[in-house]
Chains A and B, each alone.
Chain A
Amino acid sequence: MHSLDLHDHGTPATHGAPVTLNIDGADVTVPAGTSVMRAAAVAGGAIPKLCATDSLKPFGSCRLCLVEIDGQRGFPASCTTLVAPGMKVKTESEKLEQLRKGVVELYLSDHPEDCKECAAGDRCELHQVAADLGVTEVRYGRDGQSHQKGKVDDSNPYFSFDPSACIVCSRCVRACGEVQGTFALTIDGRGFASKVVASQDEGFLASECVSCGACVESCPTGALTEKSLMRIGQPDKVVKTTCAYCGVGCSFDAEVKGDKVSRMVPSRDGGANRGHACVKGRFSYTYTTHADRITSPMIRKKITDPWQKVTWDEAFQHAASEFKRIQKTYGRNSVGGITSSRCTNEEAYLVQKLIRAALGVNNVDTCARVCHSPTGYGLGQTLGTSAGTQNFDSVQFSDVIVVIGANPTEGHPVFGSRMKRRLREGAKLIVVDPRSIELVSSPHIHADYHLQLKPGTNVALINSIAHVVATEGLIDEAYVAERCEDAAFNKWRAFVSEQRNSPEAMENVTGVPAAMVRGAARLYAKGGNGAIYYGLGVTEHSQGSTMVLGIANLAMATGNIGREGVGVNPLRGQNNVQGSCDMGSFPHELAGYRHISDTVTRELFEKDWGAKIDSEPGLRIPNMFEAALDGTFKGFYVQGEDPAQSDPNTLHVTAALEAMECVIVQDLFLNETAKYAHVFFPGASFIEKDGTFTNAERRISRIRKITEPLGGLADWEATIGFAKALGYEMHYAHPSEIMDEIARLTPTFRNVSYTKLDEVGSIQWPCNDAAPEGTPTMHIGKFVRGKGRFFVTEYVPTEERSSSRFPLLLTTGRILSQYNVGAQTRRTENAVWYDEDRIEIHPHDAENRGINSGDWVGIASRAGETVLRAIVTERVQPGVVYTTFHFPESGANVITTENSDWATNCPEYKVTAVQLTKVGQPSAWQQRFKSENAEQLRLLREAATARKERLA
């Protein structure tokens, strides 16, 4: 079922030369390639249809959209008939009405009579068409054969399939293929026996279906329906908002009844997602009302004390007095905090403002530290700006797509689907990954090259690719001469041309056959528009920044930056990682990536904020933990992050948290960090506040309040309250005023405002007088820094190497149904697909250790030990094991080490030397985690009791 306010044109838009035709006596001009159906819709008419919708290619099966065309025999289907100059079309006639009524009557004869039971209600397209045509009776009776007793498939937690309402229009099947690219659905049988089935007719849950919901949305009847819609009912309004999961930043039309979301429908005009969604964005928002939500501020003196529920004001006063005490006792720089990549731009901005202005320190950081900080460094140094170069639409114009250390179909699924669509159209694919991700081989997609390198050898590989480009005459000499610094380029060219960087010389290091490297390099350099997409498999290494530099070098050398279809595109992990970085969350820079030592910038902020700003960089997250263990960092304000689960070397992190005297956590749930906290500010979910997120393509999009914050305050309001208690007033009545301040102080945001966002939907920064409508593609004509700069990228092996004691290399990643630390998705129905982290191991390594799938195995590294169940699979290569980190009890980060990127301290999550052994019980850490977790939950329950007593 479509969005409440969708005007469906029936078939997709095209971009041909103008063609004028006549429809029902009126001239209409549309692009060549447009269907007659769409032309009629553009002209304001509506030809009846059931199998057509403008997100799918025309299919021509329902026979409702018949029209008459002068000079043509019969009654062509308007969805599959293209416009032609001078064509004369009649969409209404007695004969057409007779034909359409006959078709509708046949459909109705095998469709439930009573619509009252159907969640689609009056939005069922079949009943709408019947009403429009005045079909009120079915002449055929209901006693014959029908599908009315078909069994409902209720297996999927989020939607059900009722075959009795299905008209076998194939919209669901086509959506699964064309939009999502999974091809899980099909029409089984022929003629009357035709029916929609998932995979081999095994039910939706057990099938290959990834629950993106494209089928549900495309269904014209109530055959496929969201269970939330059945439960809550038809909406009474639509609120435009943005998903709070990954960095794709999908736009949604939230359909709301009262203050409840009855369903989420991806916006067709969403710049990032173009009407598509994944299981998380469309369905997994139910965590927002989960019983685990903490809705009252709480304080306690020691982390072994029960929580005490207090008023917001009491919480602010307590937190402020503690931070003041700590600063007085241990010095001004003994406090700091983390902005959230899950909260809004405005909230990240306020937290860093509080830390810099109210606390007078620059000890502020954000979760990008542990994911994409090397992107900021690398792209800033080479190109001049710390962000991706393209919009997501750009992939439609790519000829060669290179995916390095990213798994788009799992981590960024909506963009993954768009990428797959382009690949099905014929674009070439190079995958650089130690593991066989889905893109390597999936329905209708096969990577032309899978460079299956050993973990930790990215830089060696990018240098060998660059060697081929430099030594085989594949450099775009004119581009480089015009746009890049000569001296740096020549130095780089000489470096990569050295024989020691050749694919043959590097083969033993990377494990990738030289011939494959040469083939991939030639394809990228000369295959047309070459676009690189990369993820944490690039950045989370000791040479993460070097690899980003290497990627940018390669793109510049081949002329693949500065137009549509090309570029260097970091796939950001969380919804607002880009935004939190933009907002001045790093300890060394203010909003807009301006260094804290720059007096002019600092004075600009000081004047606006009415506070002195320290000119020295502050501590980064790992440095904060080090300083805590050293006794010089004692107060920590964490908004919407969970370093106790997400950061490497858990024992190190938790020891640091324990060494602090006041940890303030602001979150939806009692997360792992909150178990070490002394103050808890209840967070507000994305449906409880206004604000903006900035996605991986620099796109700023609005979130809009649907319901009041369960805890009483939005996160930005809580930060204001805390600042006030510290003695620093912030005066904002609405987040739009915070954005106005950001725009006032940040050149790249100069023309951004809520008014503008309401007008245009979303904006990609820079948005200023030079680019008043934003900047979809960066570096056109010249780089932001002027001339692009090449860097020499010497490969330096990580210190984390396999040994006789730890012979395997562990790498980590994500899965589609869970998200990051799992705090949100674990509190949804998504556990039916993935309810625990598992360790993947190659059959050879498993056999040597007597490990079978499902066995419990101990994973030991020099940092710690944990136990997970095994999956024996050839997705990983021999010598490599892989796990996810969505469940705290897994302790995935108990085994990762504190190795980090040389430039930014981004942890090296992607390489940990480990040994695996079959075991029979959880690790000592897991056993301790279990008991400590139980104790913390008890202390939380006591808070609930205490509150009741107090009220009594």
Chain B
Amino acid sequence: MNIEHLVTMANDIGNFFTSEAGDAAAPKEVATHITKFWDPRMRSQIIGHSKSGGEGLSPVALTAVGLLVPPVQRD
């Protein structure tokens, strides 16, 4: 998956929840949204990206990705 797109998507979600929920609550809301709507491979990839510095991720998105539970691959 194109990591730039995933970063943009995560930041866009972060923008919404920062204004909706406030700075403190936003990361949890973002993490919930990503968990609810993103396929495991997308989540794995953004988690991997954050672990290697998370270039391009906004502070809220970066914190949110840190809250994600790594998906378990069933294959």
Contacts and interface: CB of A to CB of B under 8 A. Distances in A.
Given A331-B75, A614-B74, A902 B16 contact: yes
Given A626-B2, A794-B19, A363 B39 contact: yes
Given A617-B37, A903-B33, A794 B16 contact: yes
Given A626-B1, A903-B33, A905-B9, A794 B41 contact: no
Nearest to B43: A616
B71 interface: yes
Interface string A630-651: 1010000000000000000000
Contacts of A362: 39
A588 interface: yes
Contact of B36 (A333, A614, A617, A630): A617
A907 B5 CA distance: 13
Interface in B2-25: 2, 5, 9, 12-13, 15-16, 19-20
A614 B73 CA distance: 11
A126 to B, nearest CB: 63
Interface string A790-805: 0111101000000000
Contacts, number: 70
A630 B13 contact: no
Interface residues of A, number: 36
A333 B37 contact: no
Given A616-B71, A796-B15, A902-B9, A588 B42 contact: no
A628 to B, nearest CB: 10
Given A794-B15, A903-B13, A616 B42 contact: no
Given A587-B39, A617-B37, A902 B75 contact: no
A302 B73 CA distance: 31
B12 A542 contact: yes
By DSSP majority rule, is chain A's interface helix, strand, loop, or mixed?
A: loop
Contact of B40 (A495, A595, A616, A900): A616
B39 A898 contact: no
A619 interface: yes
Contacts of B19: 495, 792-794
A325 to B, nearest CB: 15
B61 to A, nearest CB: 11
B45 to A, nearest CB: 9
B39 A616 contact: yes
Interface in B21-71: 33, 36-42, 71
A632 B1 CA distance: 9
Interface residues of B, number: 21
A903 B16 contact: yes
By DSSP majority rule, is chain B's interface helix, strand, loop, or mixed?
A: helix
A623 B40 contact: no
A598 B22 CA distance: 28
Given A626-B2, A792-B20, A588 B36 contact: yes
A332 B9 contact: no
B5 A626 contact: yes
A597 B16 contact: no
Contacts of A46: none
Contacts of A495: 19
A735 interface: no
A809 B5 CA distance: 22
A388 interface: no
Interface in A766-806: 791-794, 796
A348 B53 CA distance: 42
A385 interface: no
A627 interface: yes
B15 A333 contact: no
A623 B16 contact: no
B1 A597 contact: no
A792 B29 CA distance: 14
B41 A588 contact: no
Contacts of B12: 542, 796, 902
Contact of A623 (B1, B33, B71, B74): B1
A247 B5 CA distance: 32
B71 A627 contact: no
A673 to B, nearest CB: 21
Contacts of A711: none
Contacts of B16: 545-546, 794, 796, 902-903
A618 interface: yes
B20 A333 contact: no
A588 B15 CA distance: 22
A619 B74 contact: no
A588 B41 CA distance: 14
26 contacts: A333-B41, A333-B75, A495-B19, A546-B16, A587-B39, A588-B37, A597-B36, A614-B74, A617-B36, A617-B38, A618-B39, A619-B42, A620-B39, A627-B39, A630-B2, A632-B1, A792-B19, A792-B20, A794-B15, A794-B20, A796-B16, A900-B9, A902-B12, A902-B13, A902-B16, A903-B37
Interface of A: 331-333, 362-363, 495, 542, 545-546, 587-588, 595, 597, 614, 616-620, 623, 626-627, 629-630, 632, 791-794, 796, 898, 900, 902-905
The 6 closest A-B pairs by CB, nearest first: A902-B12, A794-B19, A331-B75, A619-B39, A792-B20, A626-B1
Interface of B: 1-2, 5, 9, 12-13, 15-16, 19-20, 33, 36-42, 71, 74-75
